[in-house]
A and B are shown apart, each in its own frame.
Chain A
């Protein structure tokens, strides 16, 4: 293991102002968000934030909340992809993949700058709202869940390039395509040219990120059905965690996939069924 990787792993994720995950805010801050947005749940739900803006385009606070929520994920992206640039050098992956992660880090930096700029145009700033995603792994409440087993499982998945690329680049960034397209359309609808332009720009980058992920997953899985299965499993795992947004038959397809996975695990472990 390289010294750089060791060093990076020991470093806390830092931002100024510091990350403040939504799961860790106190009752006073929850009450403040409720007074601004109607409920804290509205802040966590990008679809609902867009709906609030459509309902009352003159309420600039709704726009501040929506862009704060997106900015939070962009900052987490800078943290996540820059760590990959360092950590994945210890893995047997093509150098071009490391360079692709470096490129994506800079894309996330630019997206963070864009989001910060849009937020400032509304009179807001980073830290006004808590973070919907915080860099440097799951928040404390998740880290302690199931005696730390959940965090350990997530950690191990995110440190595997095939699984990580499937979950983050292909599934998450693929999902972000819709989020940014809809946000850009919202900007057009309410006459907010800056919002429309910035998120159209972001959308184009997300297409590239998804393409990067898919390209390298294909390369790493070539002629290796087990690796390909792992990539599918990681994609399914990630999509399952967003279950409520799936339709009936899509959920059924996922359930059948996992049922097959359980059968495979039984077979490997020597079970009868």
Chain B
């Protein structure tokens, strides 16, 4: 059986596409080095239009209104510029309500786009631009540590990673959130109290990476204005050992945290990237591999998640679980030599 690889790598090559959904102006060039805050493309993501009824404004019919138009599609205007008129005894005119551009004009109407601030898409990670996607964005590549999550609150940031303690075994509590974490992206085992998320916002921290989180916090976490990424799932368990080791080893280094929402259909996972200068040239990580004996795996669901082990044996045929479900099972051995039997479906491959 082919399994998805869960990306938790101390050093790997990372390639990400950063694009806008609408056409814009790309500001970077190929082979340019970028920092997370560098803007790579700008575009009017939410343009604002006004449909001006010129005929009504001038109190004439649409044909006459078109004759009285002073502007054509594409013309930039400032507030108060005359668009059509004057006409009549009172010299009626229609003026530009705000700075903007005439987009369409005719049949007695003008579609006018009000100038609005352009959306700036940042690189979101350190790296090198390896390809330009015309009018949309760029592909950025880097080398470094990669930690993939399973849930994010849709926000993005960049900052220094600060583990809350020397291990990620414990619950994050309000008392741990001191001024020393201000402006940091903190990492912790798990969180279950809403007060913790609120208190972290008051410090304020820049971002939060958790091993797991109580699902009761989801509605609040979505509203919190700093990024939150959950690596393993919804429960009260310590962070998986592989992610924990990487985050502790990279203490005080910069991490690009993209807590985007999970969308497996589009391949969007929340993730943290810690760029590193390295003379080695690691390959891009494989996305899927065959589950077989000797493979390192992480348990993704059930009471033993998110423990890491190694496939010791693949049991032939379908076997029954204690609840009666019949499925393909494997024996997974942990570092302490204890082992457990689990469905293949409850595992993902972990690569060093």
Whether A associates with B in a native complex is no
Interface on B for A, CB 8 Å cutoff? none
